[in-house]
Structure 1
Amino acid sequence: MPALATGAGHEPGLYELLAALPSQLQPHVSSPEDNTFLQDMFGERSLHSLIKIHERLQHYEETKPVPVLDNAASLAHNLCEELEGRPGSGEIRELLKLLSKPHVKSLLTIHDMVALKSYDPELPPLPDDLDDDEDSVKIIRLVKNKEPLGATIMRDDHTGAILVARIMRGGAADRSGLIHAGDELKEVNGIPTDDKKPEEIIRILAQSQGAITFKVVPGTKAETPTKEPKVFVKALFDYDPKEDSAIPCKEAGLAFKKGSILHIMSQDDATWWQAKIEGDASPRAGLVPSKQFQERRFAMRRPVATLQFHRASSKRSSGFRRSFRLSRRDKKKTNKSMYESKKSEMYDMADVPTYEEVTQYRRPSGAKHRLVVLIGPTGVGLAEMKRKLLICDPQHFGVPIPHTSRPKKSQESDGVEYHFISKSLFEADIHNNKFIEYGEYKGNYYGTSLDSLRSVVSKNKVCLFDVQPHVIKHLRTAEFKPFVVFVKPPSVERLRDTRKNAKILTGKDDKGSTKLFTEEDFEEMVITAQSMESQYGHLFEKVIVNDDLTAAFGELRLALKKIEAETHWVPVSWTHS
């Protein structure tokens, strides 16, 4: 670019460079649109004004200006007092009116502060009535806006002193670095705390805005700053601190929903962790029950919940969807479950869902696909969704082929409908834990093996697998990384409207008979879905209401595309070797 012509003996200023840029760049611009864009951008009046201001400030900085005076505010005050007693002309009245305006007074005060370089905050004087043994008292002034202070307090049971119980990470108190856990609070805004309850002091702090002055005696315990590793957990339950009678300070609590990702900021307290909801703009952490504390609380309630669940299960044992469906007549003949798991549902019930440590994961290019597990009650439409996925992209989706010990029929092929094996071999595989689920029906075994899942995944396909919900936990491994989709029905009223003429499979085998849905089927479907969600909802990553099959299928297809291409949260154990 050719040099700019400038006045003799001086370098071009930034404003001159800006004014000359469009013409200098024009030979290098290929399109009229780009030329118009550059002209508009460099010709913007606000940009020119900013450059001029910059150059003026730069000029004053280079000349190292000194203030003419540093008492403009007091001079203006004295002038107003002098003029007040004189007969006023129009000019004097206008000047007095101008100098009395708050923003002019503030401007003159700021002028004097800059002239005197008085930038440090002015602390209040120390109280005159300090005892000789109170030489360690600190006077602290914090500026609090609308956000909470970020500290909790308590009364010492032995001394009666008001102590700072904890400092919330990222809050105003934490950012100041002046107040620490263990400090004794003596006064707040000049109000003694000796005769105050912690609740009264909290109200004083909550009602205070702007600068708050504290008189504190530093705690004797020296704090050593610790850099805690970043820990993220997925919440497996809903929490509202306003409804928690055990929390030390409801205002300091953090509410969250099941599925929320929490960034654990501090685990110093064994009972109350400090956490933020990931993605929340607020820097301040809030109190949440620790994993151990919440597990104890849930465990105390569990016996009642377990009893209620098993009472309900005994009334509607046929409600849980089976991978191989049984007719009501068949179910009445046998009290055996179609499928048994290696561990019972009671074992699942013993697990207390609180938090699960998670990390971000994105499927590497060429890596195996995650197993897709579909859960839902009988008649909700799982088979139709699987069928539509297989039809729309048979090269991308696949289903495991089950095993059976029954004889092969004439029209069947081994490895197509089933893997046909002997009863003794099936029993040996059961003994060797090769089946993720299995059961016996009319003297024959049926089941799905782990190897049949691996076979689909090894072909670089997405394996679709629908099971009973209590089987999910046995699939949640680093090998399969299951994406669990719960398909639930709409209300009974909507089921009546949308499934008037729909049919439900009643036979067990591939050519089973069908019948129209009954009112009992609808009610059972909804009740079973509620029970599934209540007991296993913390394991579901996606919930789809199948009100309309086309819409539900579209929602499922979109969710499956996202887990293949986007970053999402998975258990830490799935990414660690």
Structure 2
Amino acid sequence: MPALSTGSGNYSGLCELLCALPSQLQPHVHSQDDSTFLHNMFGERSLHSLVKIHERLQHYEERSPAPILDSAGSLATDLSEELQGKSASEEISELLNLLAKPHVKSLLSVHDTVAQKNYDPELPPLPDDIDDDEVSVKIIRLVKNKEPLGATIKRDEHTGAILIARIMRGGAADRSGLIHVGDVLREVNGVPVDDKKPDEIIHILSQSQGAITFKLIPAIKEETPSKEPKMFVKTLFDYEPAEDKAIPCKEAGLAFKRGDILHIMSQDDANWWQAKQDGHANPRAGLIPSKQFQERRFALRRPAASVLQPQKISNRRSSGFRRSFRLSRRDKKTNKSMYECKKSEQYDMADVATYEEVTPHRRQSGAKHRLVVLVGPTGVGLNELKRKLLISDPQHFSVTVPHTSRPKRNQENEGVEYHFISKNIFETDIHNNKFIEHGEYKGNYYGTSLDSVRSVLSKNKVCLLDVQPHTIKHLRTAEFKPYVVFVKPPPVERLRESRRNAKVSSGKDDKGSAKSFSEEDFLEMVSTAQQMESQHGHLFEKIIVNDDLTAAFSELKMALKKVETDTHWVPISWTHS
């Protein structure tokens, strides 16, 4: 098919093309009805007229025409009056009838409007009832669409005046540049508001359509646009402004889910920040509780004892012990503590999760890989996923070698099954916070050291590490930049079906036994997963439901590939340390 050309000199060619299209499409037409339809459609005179209009308009656009005059309407009126006194003729009568038609008058009016290029709305006249001693006022007219105006109001406690409390960044009021914080609102659409409550005024605004006229007394000192640095935060909790009784204006609130990235637009208010969703098309910011305000609220909601996390993990089965250091059920009855993690008062006092400042990060070629941390309840399949990753690419993925104070057995090799060290050295390393996790079993220490992680990363390999979720916060450093994957089980009904023939390890070390899953195991797995997600979900960057091991492995491997190639949001401290 020949290429379409829309140049002014090609109108005849375009018409010929339209006429030729039915015959060119004939080999692809399978019925007489379709052929008739094509002939009728491409032969339609109205279509040819539209093409002609299009070509003429484009022709004039290329010439950049300028109107000869911008008063065609008045000129037509003058001409009609002039011709009324002339002797009647057929041509004069036809012209007068033509000029009197409403469509022609409208066309001439549009022509004059375009020629004058005057598209601004007419501002209302200043009111006549302004007192001579009244301070200067601003009469502002904003056209309201479906978007909120983006301003909140409050009553001054001392004067009783209605003040503009805040301007939402990017909203209609902010973009107009005409309304400022501190302006006194006197009238809305001619209705005085001095004796009205803020809720009543908001109702008036919500019911108004089209243009809204405000009468304002300017603030003594108009706010200067703040030049705050661009700041992004990752939300660590869910927020719904409609359910927040403390928010100044529910309509101005911004709802978000845990894990969303927000662009903080303003921190002028100590209690209420202005923010918008990163990448969202809506330019208007919304209100969110500030970090300090939300931390205070969270601290008041929880018992004081729960703010500080215990350093030792009890040996209840629901705590979900690490697979590599799991106690048998018999041993759990006699052991008081299995795991102890590094102590950190800084982290323990910061367990109130609100926002975390983040920045985009992409791994540079040749840089060390991010530590991959796998978290999940016992029996969910962490070992299986690690094993599949290691088998899929043993040159790329690796795991740490744990330390132990027990004697080396004949078939064991140093640095393969374990790093074998004395009990005194192990205790010294515990004291020096060299272990991520450690525990004691039958008088011997076992643990995973920080140096074992560094050893894997130094070989330009991806280190796979599964730990208790409370340990994650101690690994979240610029050195390791951990990518945390939470592997959760499907519902109990699906577990019964998918784990029917599976086995769960019930022992420790390399002499553990395996048994079939029980109903208690399934219920505990789901319960533990819910508890982990509730308490530590703000630290998880990826959640994978292990309903089918093959599908879960594919999802995990794809996610780890993106970690190495794509840009991710990470704590700003990881790149500015």
TM-score bracket for this pair, using the shorter chain length: 0.7 to 0.9
Match of 1:439 in 2: 439
CA distance 1:333–1:216, change in 2 (3 Å): same
Q: Which residue of structure 1 lines up, in the alignment, with residue 25 of structure 2?
A: none
193 and 68 in structure 1: CA distance in 2 versus 1, 3 angstrom threshold: closer
Aligned-residue offset at 1:75: 7.9
Counterpart for residue 330 of structure 1: 331
Task: Give the AA of the match of 2:125.
Answer: P
Per the alignment, residue 224 of structure 2 pairs with: 224
How far the C-alpha of 1:47 sits from its partner, in A, is 9.9
Query: Residues 230 and 135 (structure 1 numbering): CA distance in 2 closer, same or farther, change over 3 Å?
Result: same
Q: Structure 1: how far apart are the matches of 2:402 and 2:151? A: 59
Query: Does the 8 Å CA contact 2:402/2:418 hold for their aligned counterparts?
Result: yes
The AA in structure 1 aligned to 2:327 is L
**Partner letter of residue 324 of structure 1?**
F
Measure how far apart 1:319 and its partner are: 3.3
TM-score, L = length of structure 1:
0.84
Distance in 2 of aligned mates of 1:464 and 1:363: 17
- Any stretches of 5+ residues in structure 1 without a counterpart? 1-12, 21-43, 80-89
Residue type matched to 1:175 in 2? R
2:3 paired residue number: none
Q: 2:68 aligns with which of 51, 65, 68?
A: 65
**Alpha-carbon distance change, 288 to 303 in structure 1, aligned in 2, over 3 angstroms:** same
Q: Which amino acid aligns with 2:72?
A: L
- Displacement of 1:73 in angstroms is 9.6
2:485 alignment counterpart: 485
Q: CA deviation at 1:110?
A: 3.4
Partner SS, residue 72 of structure 2: coil
Structure 2 match to 1:25: none
- Are the structure 2 counterparts of residues 333 and 60 from structure 1 closer, same or farther at C-alpha, using a change threshold of 3 Å? closer
* Residue identity matched to 2:357: E
Aligned residue type for 2:378: T
Mapped partners of 1:346, 1:495: distance in 2? 39
Aligned-residue offset at 1:121: 2.8
Amino acid at match of 2:68: P
Give the whole-Å Cα distance in 2 for the aligned partners of 1:390 and 1:262.
37
| Paired residue total | 525
Using the alignment, how far apart are the partners of 1:485 and 1:128 within structure 2? 69
1:511 aligns with 2:515: no
DSSP-derived class of the 1:389 partner: helix
Q: CA deviation at 1:575?
A: 0.9
- What is the letter of the counterpart of residue 537 of structure 1? G
Q: Equivalents in 2 of 1:49, 1:95: separation in Å?
A: 21
SS at match of 1:395: coil
Structure 1 residue 144: deviation in Å? 1.6
Distance 1:186 1:523, change over 3 A: same
Matches within 5 A, 1:278-317: 278-303=278-303, 306=306, 316-317=316-317
| Shift in Å, 1:115 | 4.5
1:422–1:315 Cα change, 3 Å: closer
TM-score normalized with structure 2 length: 0.84
Q: Residue by residue, what CA displacement relative to the aligned partner does 1:309-360 show, whole Å, maximum 9, x if unpaired?
A: 99xx979455323241111111011111x21012289964751100000011
CA drift at 1:523: 1.1
Deviation per residue, 1:357-402 (Å, 9 max, x gap): 0011111111111000000111111000000100111011000000
Give the AA of the match of 2:150.
Answer: G
1:156 aligns with 2:156: yes
Whole-angstrom distance in 2 between the partners of 1:314 and 1:389? 31
1:75-154 equivalence runs, <5 A: 99=102, 107-116=107-116, 118-154=118-154
Distance 1:74 1:180, change over 3 A: farther
- Secondary structure of 2:515's match? strand
Q: How does 1:527-542 map to 2 (within 5 A)?
A: 527-542=527-542
Q: Is the 8 A contact 2:184 2:218 kept in 1?
A: yes
Distance 1:499 1:50, change over 3 A: same
The 3 A distance-change label for structure 1 pair 365 and 308 is closer
CA distance in 1, matches of 2:106, 2:205: 28
Counterparts in 2 of 1:116 and 1:278: CA distance versus 1, 3 Å = closer
Task: Rate the CA distance shift 1:304–1:92 in 2: closer, same or farther, 3 A.
Answer: farther
The equivalent residue for 1:403 is 403
Partner Cα distance (1:209, 1:78) in 2 = 42
- Alpha-carbon distance between aligned partners in 2 of 1:208 and 1:358, rounded to the nearest angstrom: 40
- Cα 1:151–1:423 change in 2 (3 A) is same
1:31 is matched with none
Displacement of 1:512 in angstroms is 1.1
Return the offset for 1:52: 4.7
Determine the C-alpha separation between the residues in 1 that align with 2:210 and 2:341.
Answer: 62
Deviation of 1:445 after TM superposition, in Å, equals 0.7
Q: Alpha-carbon deviations, 1:392-450, whole Å to 9, x = none?
A: 11011000000000000111000000000111111111122211111111111111111
Q: Is the 8 A contact 1:72 1:112 kept in 2?
A: no
Partner Cα separation in structure 1 for residue 468 and residue 64 of structure 2: 78
How big is the shift at 1:55? 3.7
Compute the displacement of 1:74 (Å): 7.7
> Does 1:56 pair with 2:65?
no
SS in 1 for 2:215: strand
Q: Secondary structure at the match of 1:71?
A: helix
C-alpha change, 1:45 and 1:568, in structure 2 (3 Å) is farther
Identity of matched residues, %: 71
> Counterpart in 1 of 2:45?
none
Please list every run of 5 or more consecutive structure 2 residues that lacks an aligned counterpart in the other structure.
Answer: 1-5, 14-47, 83-92
The equivalences for 1:496-575 within 5 A come to: 496-575=496-575
SS in 2 for 1:330: helix
**Contact 1:150-1:174 within 8 A present in 2 as well:** yes
The aligned residue for residue 363 of structure 2 is 363
Structure 2 CA distance for partners of 1:453 and 1:48, relative to 1, 3 Å = farther
Tell me, yes or no, if the aligned pair for 1:325 and 1:508 is still in contact at 8 Å: yes
Contact 1:73 1:112 in 2 (8 A): no
Letter in 2 for 1:330: D
Are residue 354 (structure 1) and residue 354 (structure 2) matched? yes
Offset of residue 201 of structure 1:
1.2
